[in-house]
Each structure stands twice: as C-alpha cells, then as structure tokens.
Amino acid sequence: MSRSSSSLPEESISNKGFVAKTFIAFLVFGALMIVGWSTFKWINMQPQEAGALKPLRKTLDFNEKVFSGIFNANHLVKEYPVSQAVKRVRVNGMDGLRDSVNEASWRLKVVRAAGDTLQLTLNDIKQLPKKDIVFDFKCIEGWDQVTHWGGVPLKTFMEHYHLDKQSKMNYLGLVTPDKGYYVGIDMPSALHPQTLLCYEMNGKPLPVNQGFPLRLIIPVKYGIKHLKRIGTMFFSNNKPADYWAERGYDYYAGH
Ligand SMILES: Nc1nc2c(c(=O)[nH]1)N[C@H]1C(S)=C(S)[C@@H](COP(=O)(O)O)O[C@H]1N2
Ligand SMILES: [Mo]
C-alpha cells in the first residue's frame, strides 16, 4: 500500500465535512438574507407616523420611555471653567429667525391658560436671579463645543411667576415669534436646575443669530431643543408640536 492511498480516505472525509459545512453556511446566509430583506421591505411598506415610518417611530417612542424613565433631575451635566468656553460660537439653524427683532417691542408671551397670557419684557426677566453655565453643547449632527451662557433658571422663573399649576403639566412648549421653529420639552427636563431662559452668551447680550433677546439653554438635551428667540411659552399635558420630531428625529432628544 502506498502512503498516498492510505491517506486518501481521511482526506475525502474531511472534504465531505467541509462541503457540508459550506452548504449549511450558504443556506443560513441565504435564509438570513431573506429575513433581512423582507424586514426591510416590511418597514418601508409601513405608513408614516410623526415624520418616521411607523415601526421606527415606535422604536423612538420606546427609547423615549426608557430614557425619560431613567432621567434623574438631580444628575447635573458636567460644567467647565469659563476660560474653557470658546469665543467664536458656531451658529447652527436659522429657522424662525429670519424676521427682524427689536428689544423694545419684543415680549415673552406666557400662556397661563386659554385667554390668559402674561406679557414680559426682557428687563422683567433680567430682574430675576441670574445663573451662568459653561457646558459642552451637543448638536445631534455630530459636533459639540464648550460654550458659556447666562440667564434665569426656568424653574426660578416659573416659581417667581407662580406657574405652579402649569409646572405640574407634562410638557412645556416654546415657539419663535414668527412660529417658524417650535419645540416641546418634557417638564422634568424643563425644570432641571441647569435649564435656563438665556439672554447672555460669553457675558454679553445674545447675538441676533444666537437667539436675541431670549433663548432656551437646556444642557440635558441635544441642540435641536435649545430654541433661539422665544416668542411664546405654553404648557400642555399632550406633546406640543416639535419641529425636528416632525422631521423624524427623537422627540425626547436627551443625552
Ligand atoms: N429658532 C431656532 N432655534 C434653533 C434652531 C433653529 O433652526 N431655529 N436650531 C437648533 C439647533 S439644531 C442647534 S444645534 C442650536 C444651535 O445653537 P447655536 O446656533 O447658538 O450654536 O440651536 C437650535 N435652536
Ligand atoms: Mo443641532
């Protein structure tokens, strides 16, 4: 018997095993392709809901439940020394800022209830205790920068104007004077100690394209929620309309 003929049966056995394994691998691969492709097709066939295909919106709503469930109002976003704040702050998003704005005629309209609107000047707001914050501002598009803001904590503002009934509602809504940009904020995040009605950046009045005279600074959320140039504030138990949520982004937008 030659050596080659004695090694032949062994080789053909391992070859057989290899062929079988390859065959199974292809079957599994094919099956997964079919499952993946049909899931993709099924998702795409679903109707839209709030700017996203229904199954994706369901996922976003589920994420919102999870993240708002673990939200801790006492957990503070990291703060930095003022020296670390950038001097040239990026401008992103000009929706609702295209009209001119004038401090003398501008008012913050606070809708306490239907037909009961409080109208405040910038000076009224500046009378309240001021807080400065330097934090890492994060945009959902992927950039971030350490920036310095000043204003009155929204919680202090609500307490000062006796908006306690309103603060028990589920959401706060903010809208620019021209209604071109609008956000909805869950009340625990609105009342978070680092959330500001902000009128200063780097110790000076807000530049026009950064939201003069008054904007929201809400460090627990992504940039999309930091509405620039607030015109109207209102309260609701249902989700207020939200510009980017309508375009498929996460409504909660926390990080
Ligand atoms: N009125 C208004 N506010 C807005 C936007 C906008 O388009 N219009 N864009 C938002 C987004 S996506 C971001 S990241 C921040 C950017 O703030 P900044 O321009 O001061 O950097 O503003 C938010 N507030
Ligand atoms: Mo953003």
Ligand lying closest to the C-alpha of residue 179: 1
The CATH superfamily of 48-247 is Oxidoreductase, molybdopterin-binding domain (3.90.420.10)
Is the separation of the CB atoms in 173 and 182 below 8 Å? yes
pTM of the model: 0.81
Ligand 1 nearest-atom number relative to CA 244? 12
Question: Which residues have C-beta within 8 Å of that of residue 135, sequence separation ≥ 6?
Answer: 77, 78, 79, 80, 146, 147, 194, 219
Which one-letter amino acid corresponds to residue 69? G
What is the pLDDT, as a whole number, of residue 103? 95
Which pLDDT belongs to residue 6?
A: 47
Give the H or E element holding residue 11. Answer: helix 3-45
What does the pLDDT read at residue 3?
47
In a 10 Å sphere around its CB, with 0-12 CB exposed, 13-18 middle and 19+ buried, how is residue 98 labelled?
exposed
Smallest CA separation from ligand 1 atom 20, residue: 210
pLDDT in the model for residue 61: 75
Helix (H) or strand (E) holding 49: strand 48-49
Measured distance CA(200)–CA(220) in Å, rounded: 19
For ligand 1, is residue 93 a contact (CB within 6 Å)? Answer: yes
Query: Does the beta carbon of 218 lie inside 6 Å of ligand 1?
Result: no
Best of 98, 197, 226, 232 to mutate for ligand 1, by most ligand atoms within 8 A of CB? 226
| Domains in the chain: boundaries | 5-44, 48-247
Does the beta carbon of 96 sit less than 6 angstroms from any atom of ligand 1? yes
* pLDDT score recorded for residue 5: 46
pLDDT averaged over 10-residue windows placed end to end, the chain, 255 residues:
48 64 76 72 70 75 72 88 97 96 97 98 98 98 97 98 98 98 98 98 98 98 98 98 97 94
Residue 139 CA: nearest ligand 1 atom is: 14
pLDDT at 32: 78
| Sign of torsion over alpha carbons 123, 125, 129, 131 | negative
| Ranges assigned E (strand) in 105-214 | 108-113, 116-120, 131-138, 144-153, 171-175, 182-186, 196-201, 204-205
| DSSP bridge pairs for 148 | 134
